[in-house]
Homo-oligomer: A and B are copies of this chain.
Amino acid sequence: MTLQTYLTEKNKLVESCLDQWLPREDAEPAKLHQAMRYSLFAGGKRIRPILTIAAAEAVDGDISKVLPAATALELIHTYSLIHDDLPAMDDDDYRRGRLSNHKMFGEATAILAGDALLTFAFELLVRESIGAGVEAEKITFALLELSSAAGTFGMIGGQAMDLSAEGQKVNLDGLETIHKCKTGALLRAAVRIGAGVSGANQEQLQALTSYAESLGLAFQIKDDILDIEGDSQKLGKQAGSDLLKDKSTYPSILGLQEAKRLLNQQIDNSLQSADIFAEKGKILRDIALFVRDREF
């Protein structure tokens, strides 16, 4: 199966679970449920849930048992985008070409919709995992991974550090810490949850953790490189915006060549980590190559 076919297929699967498990738009309070669905069904690529599924498959897991946790990861990711876009935070009026949640529904509803997606992530994870026959010990494992990755030593902490670094020069260590927390922690949790719920052994869990850590950094480095070399049309956003904002990035700190070297090194790490799964690690390796070669 080509990676593109795989991604399309799993994206559909995740969307159908989200649609099935989320409160309907007409359930009261209707405006709140509409706001939750508005941001959740805005064309996200579902990277985190897909990583959960791919990790489960790499260790011969049952996909239906990891779908609740996979879906919960997407709810957490979506809530973070809604809150990050708020006027007091990054103040973005648009997201994926559409009005951001607070521009569409007002700030109060956007704050509540974010809170609700975050809260519902945990409810859905527990309820639907029980429904899928996942053992309680594995549910609590997934909950610990998810909540710590989303917390102050993970995603929320990264956003706080990013906000306080605004307009300041950050060194390489600082930049790496921010990215590891802000985006890396949830990617790491995604594969660990997929593997752990599927009953992976320690060696498998460690290989996948290492895979995801490298992949997360590679993703960010590539983002920074595309902002310099990318085609605005393909990117769907203006290239060069990091330079304009005088933002610290891998190329701005290391230079473009060294950033590319670091990108390749991280991708190699990911590929090697996936090697222990032999044929079953193919999708994981394809995802890593895609991260390296993407033009958008």
Contacts and interface: CB of A to CB of B under 8 A. Distances in A.
> Taking chain A's interface residues, is the majority helix, strand, or loop, or is none over half, making it mixed?
helix
A107 interface: yes
A143 B122 contact: yes
A205 to B, nearest CB: 18
Contacts of A147: 119-120, 122-123, 126
A79 B111 CA distance: 12
A152 interface: yes
Interface residues of A, number: 50
Interface string A11-48: 00000000000010001110111001000000000000
Which among A33, A160, A161 has the greatest number of chain B C-beta atoms within 10 A?
A160
Interface string A43-59: 00000000000000000
B29 A115 contact: no
Contacts of A160: 29, 31-32, 109, 112
A115 B156 contact: yes
Contacts of A148: 123
Contact of A156 (B27, B89, B119, B144): B119
14 contacts: A29-B161, A32-B160, A33-B152, A88-B107, A88-B111, A120-B147, A122-B143, A122-B147, A123-B144, A123-B151, A127-B144, A136-B137, A136-B140, A139-B140
Interface of A: 23, 27-29, 31-33, 36, 79, 83, 86, 88-89, 106-109, 111-112, 114-116, 118-120, 122-123, 126-127, 130, 135-137, 139-140, 143-144, 147-148, 150-153, 156-157, 159-161, 163-164
A32 B163 CA distance: 11
Nearest to A144: B126
